[in-house]
């Protein structure tokens, strides 16, 4: 695992954007794994700048989102389908037909999750998977105790995750109880992993992920099993290493 510690959150975004840029320049039809939440925002902003100035073209690039809430209408502003369309697909000039988000409204979740796995495999697998990290060490929505071999499936959100994400909703009650997330095994299948974290609130989770034992209690520690994982941190997020 490569760990980079940078002076500012903007630098974290720029260096992570460099990695994605080099993957896409080498392979315009590359398959990206997309994360939501605040952590990757600086990366998307930097990638959008490069698309606007013509130094990067993502029109042929394909993508799969990590996760989605269960039960939110697609046009709810906090559904990850809406977030990905608004914050990623539009600003990055991607083709919406080439970007998939798990269907959180499916009436046959088992089939939906199996199809999502199949779609990733048919696309040739994920070239570079972007990841944030929850304060409890989750990646995607793989909460503590998630199996290290898990695949895309429905999960119950941890109370802490619902509380952390309540800032995006009018109240805690509006935060869904369940989600669909790529599994830890699915994430580990990506050819390259790029985890970004900013701020002291992530320092404990980062320390467990990078230096702790590999454990389902700290799902991000699964990155230690991957041959090509990079963790990019600002100084507060790295403060307990």
Give 170's DSSP letter: S
| Beta-ladder partners of 100 | 64
What is the nearest approach in angstroms of ligand GLP to the Cβ of residue 221?
15
Is the Cβ of residue 37 or residue 212 nearer to ligand GLP in the bound state? 37
Candidate residues 79, 146, 152, 161; the one interacting with ligand GLP per rule CB under 6 A: 161
Query: Which candidate in 136, 142, 165, 192 is catalytic?
Result: 136
Q: Does 67 bind ligand GLP (CB under 6 A)?
A: yes
Binding mask of the shown chain, residues 39 to 58, with x at each position contacting ligand GLP by CB under 6 A: x-------------------
What is the nearest approach in angstroms of ligand GLP to the Cβ of residue 38?
4
Is the Cβ of residue 31 or residue 205 nearer to ligand GLP in the bound state? 205
Q: Is 138 a catalytic residue?
A: yes
Q: Does 66 bind ligand GLP (CB under 6 A)?
A: yes
CA atoms within 13 A on the CB side of 99: 27
Question: How many angstroms separate the CA atoms of 6 and 4, rounded?
Answer: 6
| Beta-ladder partners of 2 | 230
Parallel, antiparallel, or unpaired for β 153-156 and 62-65? unpaired
Q: Is 208 a catalytic residue?
A: no
Parallel, antiparallel, or unpaired for β 99-100 and 193-197? unpaired
Q: Is 136 a catalytic residue?
A: yes
The CA-CA-CA angle for residues 175, 180, 183, to 5°, reads: 130
| Beta-ladder partners of 99 | 63
Q: Tell which phi-psi region holds residue 124, choosing left (phi > 0), alpha (psi between -120 and 50) or beta.
A: left
Return the residues of window 197-216 that contact ligand GLP according to CB under 6 A: none
Q: Does 33 bind ligand GLP (CB under 6 A)?
A: no
Q: Is 75 a catalytic residue?
A: no
| Residues lying near ligand GLP in the complex (CB under 6 A) | 35-39, 66-67, 132-134, 140-141, 161, 165
């Amino acid at each position: 695992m490569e760990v980079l510690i940078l002076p500012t959150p903007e630098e974290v975004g720029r260096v992570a954007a460099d990695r994605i840029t080099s993957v896409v320049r080498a392979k315009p039809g590359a398959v990206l794994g997309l994360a939501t939440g605040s952590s990757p925002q600086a990366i998307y902003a930097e990638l959008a700048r490069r698309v606007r100035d013509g130094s990067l073209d993502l029109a042929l690039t394909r993508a799969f989102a990590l996760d989605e809430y269960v039960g939110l209408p697609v046009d709810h502003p906090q559904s990850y389908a809406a977030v990905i369309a608004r914050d990623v697909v539009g600003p990055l000039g991607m083709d919406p037909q080439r970007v998939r988000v798990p269907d959180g409204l499916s009436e046959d979740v088992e089939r939906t999750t199996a199809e999502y796995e199949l779609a990733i495999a048919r696309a040739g697998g994920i070239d570079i998977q972007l990841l944030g990290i929850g304060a409890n060490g989750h990646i995607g929505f793989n909460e503590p105790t998630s199996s290290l071999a898990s695949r895309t499936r429905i999960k119950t959100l941890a109370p802490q995750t619902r509380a952390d994400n309540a800032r995006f909703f009018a109240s805690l009650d509006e935060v869904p109880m369940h989600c669909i997330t790529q599994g830890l095994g699915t994430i580990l299948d990506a050819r390259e992993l790029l985890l970004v974290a900013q701020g002291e609130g992530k320092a404990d989770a980062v320390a467990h992920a990078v230096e702790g034992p590999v454990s389902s209690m700290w799902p991000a520690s699964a990155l230690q099993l991957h041959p090509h994982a990079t963790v990019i941190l600002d100084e507060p997020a790295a403060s307990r290493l």
